[in-house]
Amino acid sequence: MPDTPLNGPRYGVIGCGMMGREHLRNIALMQGSEVAAIFEPDAEMRMRAAQIAPRAVMVESIEALLAVPAVNCLLIASPNDMHLSQLQTIAAIRPLPVLVEKPLVISQDEIGRLDAFRQTYPAPVWVAMEYRYMPPVARLIAEAEAATGGIRMLTIREHRFPFLHKVGDWNRLNRRTGGTLVEKCCHFFDLMRYILKSDPVRVMASGGQSVNHKDEMYEGEAADIWDNAYVIVDFASGARAMLELCMFAEGSRYQEEISAIGPSGKIECHVPGPARFWPEHLGEPPVAQVVVSPRTPKGPRTIDIPVDPELLEAGDHNGSTFYQHQRFARAVAGTGPVEVTAEDGIWAVAMGLAAQHSALTGQSCPVDSNFGTRL
């Protein structure tokens, strides 16, 4: 494994559902770090978390978690609509370095309410954007400038399985997630800004619920999350980007496919979905690829990007959760920067909110440096 600090982070973890436990498995692979304490209100999830992190103290509240002296950083992996209030509680009691799952917040109102926190929080805040750290995506980003001569068009396509079931079914309702284009697609909007090194100015979208969740009710409320969309984004640099999301396409060989094109050529990557969903009878799961296609001389070149099987086994995100924790560990130790800042997290949410708004109104939605037009 690549280097990790000797005295690594000792995490206090808030929420140990599917993603929280992916974090636990990856922290367990990082030399010098450990999970010191866990707050998880659901008994079944607590039990499963204890199997992965048997030395962690189980506590009954965030306050109790913050009182564990060994804890020197925090991970928030609770449902989306709890992130803001939990950050505010932490800020008031013991502001430690924190890795908070995306989306950072879920509404324009919450973006406003995050202001005071952002301006005064004295420790690193890192928003979990695992897709930046997927080895094939990282390779595309590293080679994009040389392969394209400056990206003018960027397309991100996600063809995947429907939303999974979550504890308490929080992910079925827009009011708890921010809507599909915030909840899930904030990853892709973050990637667009990160890859293009520019901020968006305008978003146009069409999206809705076409196939999945149509007959689902939750305590009298109909599931209103969307399962497909197209989103076009204009950037200040003049580059344009497009997202295509389809959540009834789990039969696909690859889950995420990204292409970047400029005057010199094209670079693409193909990223498989979670290995655990690949049917055994089809043999080994697909290996991620990067394809470089110059304009002259023509000659597409395909490069396999295999990922350490131990890292693939530890999560659903092509090894990226481990690499993100390594970088976060450096930020906690003060030896590396925060690579995904609260500002990045807010931009990604603002773009998602603008896309939801555009799809609902049929109008393009401007986005500005105050993180979006008031919707």
Ligand X SMILES: NC(=O)c1ccc[n+]([C@@H]2O[C@H](COP(=O)([O-])OP(=O)(O)OC[C@H]3O[C@@H](n4cnc5c(N)ncnc54)[C@H](O)[C@@H]3O)[C@@H](O)[C@H]2O)c1
Which one among 26, 72, 80, 358 touches ligand X, defined by CB under 6 A? 80
Instruction: Note whether 121 binds ligand X by CB under 6 A.
Output: no
Can you state the angle between helices 43-52 and 18-28, rounded to 10 degrees? 10
Of residues 90-119, those binding ligand X (CB under 6 A)? 101-102
Q: How far is the CB of 119 from ligand X (least distance, A)?
A: 23
- 182 — phi, psi (to 5°)? -95, -55
Which one among 10, 26, 40, 354 touches ligand X, defined by CB under 6 A? 40
Written as one letter, the residue type at 200 is P
Which of the stretches 8-16, 110-118, 144-152, 302-310 binds ligand X when contact is defined by CB under 6 A? 8-16
Q: Kindly tell me which of 82 and 138 has the beta carbon lying closer to ligand X.
A: 82
Name the 3-class secondary structure at 260: strand
Any idea which residue has 């697609």 for tokens?
Answer: 185
Q: How far is the CB of 13 from ligand X (least distance, A)?
A: 9
Which one among 39, 163, 254, 347 touches ligand X, defined by CB under 6 A? 39
Can you state the angle between helices 320-333 and 135-148, rounded to 10 degrees? 90
DSSP sequence for 123-184: S-EEEE-GGGGSHHHHHHHHHHHHHHSS-SEEEEEEE-PPPPP-GGGGGG-HHHHS-HHHHT
Which one among 5, 32, 41, 336 touches ligand X, defined by CB under 6 A? 41
Which one among 29, 36, 130, 240 touches ligand X, defined by CB under 6 A? 130
Instruction: Note whether 190 binds ligand X by CB under 6 A.
Output: no
Nearest to 349 by CA among 90, 91, 97, 101: 101
Name the 3-class secondary structure at 203: strand
Which of the stretches 9-17, 230-238, 257-265, 326-334 binds ligand X when contact is defined by CB under 6 A? 9-17
Q: Kindly tell me which of 92 and 303 has the beta carbon lying closer to ligand X.
A: 92
Instruction: Note whether 18 binds ligand X by CB under 6 A.
Output: yes
Q: What is the number of the residue whose Cβ is closest to ligand X? A: 17
Instruction: Note whether 173 binds ligand X by CB under 6 A.
Output: no
Q: How far is the CB of 28 from ligand X (least distance, A)?
A: 17
Instruction: Note whether 84 binds ligand X by CB under 6 A.
Output: no
Total residue length of the chain: 375
DSSP sequence for 314-357: T-SSTTHHHHHHHHHHHHHHTSS--SS-HHHHHHHHHHHHHHHH
Q: Kindly tell me which of 78 and 174 has the beta carbon lying closer to ligand X.
A: 78
Of residues 265-324, those binding ligand X (CB under 6 A)? 317
Tell how strand 301-304 and strand 365-366 pair up.
unpaired
Locate all alpha helices (DSSP H) within the chain, ordered by sequence. Answer: 18-28, 43-52, 62-66, 83-93, 108-113, 115-120, 135-148, 174-177, 180-183, 186-196, 309-313, 320-333, 342-361
Which one among 9, 11, 14, 255 touches ligand X, defined by CB under 6 A? 14
Q: Kindly tell me which of 42 and 339 has the beta carbon lying closer to ligand X.
A: 42
Site for ligand X, rule CB under 6 A = 14-20, 39-42, 45, 77-80, 82, 101-102, 128, 130, 166-167, 183, 317
